Amino acid sequence: VIHAAHAVSRISSRNARVRIPRSQVHTVTFRASVLQSASMLLASSRLLPAVTTDRLARSLPTRAVRRMAARASAAAPKKVVIVGGVAGGASCAARLRRLSEDVEITLFERGPYVSFANCGLPYAVSEVIAEESKLLVASAAKFKSWFNVEVKEATEITTINREQKTVTAKNLSTGEEKQVPYDVLVLSPGAAALKPPIPGIHLPGLFTMKTIPDMRAVKAWIKEKKAKKAVVVGGGFIGLEMVENLHHMGLDCKVVEMLPQVRPGKDSQCLQRTSL
């Protein structure tokens, strides 16, 4: 008895070979024409507790492999719902499609854009990146044509019913709500920019830098008010990139960081050598 759940699989153009731990020295070879992809092989390994084989045999009969593949396909998830469509959610959708051609994938994003380069936002403020389209890694239309993923932008998931395996999706443009069934639910909603509860936090002229609309608001304020000075709270990557680009625009900038150094995840000696 070879426990396939402990096997490590590798697919090649000619066959798929399952490697067994050293304590179990038997090798089982599958014809690649029977298993359509490496993902099906992995699925069958997870679903079947064990594979029986003759000690002297080096391969399973084609009929047995087909039965394994059929069981894996029948038990595999048919509908996957992903909540959140920026870095994590979009990457998850693309990876799922590479693993399976059959699964139905729907991605919901509350904002107006999916899969955008948020580290490029400060450079769009200063127009070093002149076109907003260059911030978009992939649009909803491209996700559909490239990966056959249904993308619902400006749509918020408001409730989850785990017993019935459904989510409530609300279209933020029309207010329409509908129930969407799922077999697997992936939550990748991201996070909101931190706004500390301090006096004056709601005064005009205070902005966060997290999304494309945030970038537009900062850019419009600088042009409208002809701003000359700026304070950036937070010395992480985005904060320092904002300082770089505001300085490029001619603004006098100050950085406020709670910790003893900027870029808190960076070694202090490295920062001294790079003059940061």
pTM over 0.85: no
* Per-residue pLDDT tens over the stretch 171-212: 999 999 999 999 999 999 988 888 889 899 999 999 999 999
* Per-residue pLDDT tens over the stretch 132-158: 989 988 888 989 999 999 999 999 999
- pLDDT mean by block of 10 residues, the chain; 276 residues: 35 40 40 38 38 38 59 71 91 91 94 88 95 88 92 96 97 96 93 86 93 95 96 92 95 91 72 56
What CATH topology corresponds to 228-273? FAD/NAD(P)-binding domain (3.50.50)
pLDDT given at position 262: 86
Residues of the chain with CATH 3.50.50.60: 79-187, 228-273
pLDDT given at position 87: 83
What CATH topology corresponds to 79-187? FAD/NAD(P)-binding domain (3.50.50)
Catalytic residue selected from 92, 119, 253, 270: 119
pLDDT given at position 19: 46
pLDDT given at position 89: 92
Concerning whether 253 is annotated as a catalytic residue, the answer is no
pLDDT given at position 9: 36
pLDDT given at position 258: 87
Question: SS3 for the chain, per residue?
Answer: CECHHHCEEEECCCEEEEECCCCCCCCEEEECCCCCCHHHHHHHHHHCCCECCCCCCCECCHHHHHHHHHHHHHHCCCEEEEECCCHHHHHHHHHHHHHCCCCEEEEECCCCCCCECHHHHHHHHCCCCCCHHHHECCCHHHHHHHHCCEEECCEEEEEEECCCCEEEEEECCCCCEEEEECCEEEECCCCCCCCCCCCCCCCCCCCCCCCHHHHHHHHHHHHHHCCCEEEEECCCHHHHHHHHHHHHCCCEEEEECCCCCCCCCCCHHHHHHCCC
pLDDT given at position 136: 87
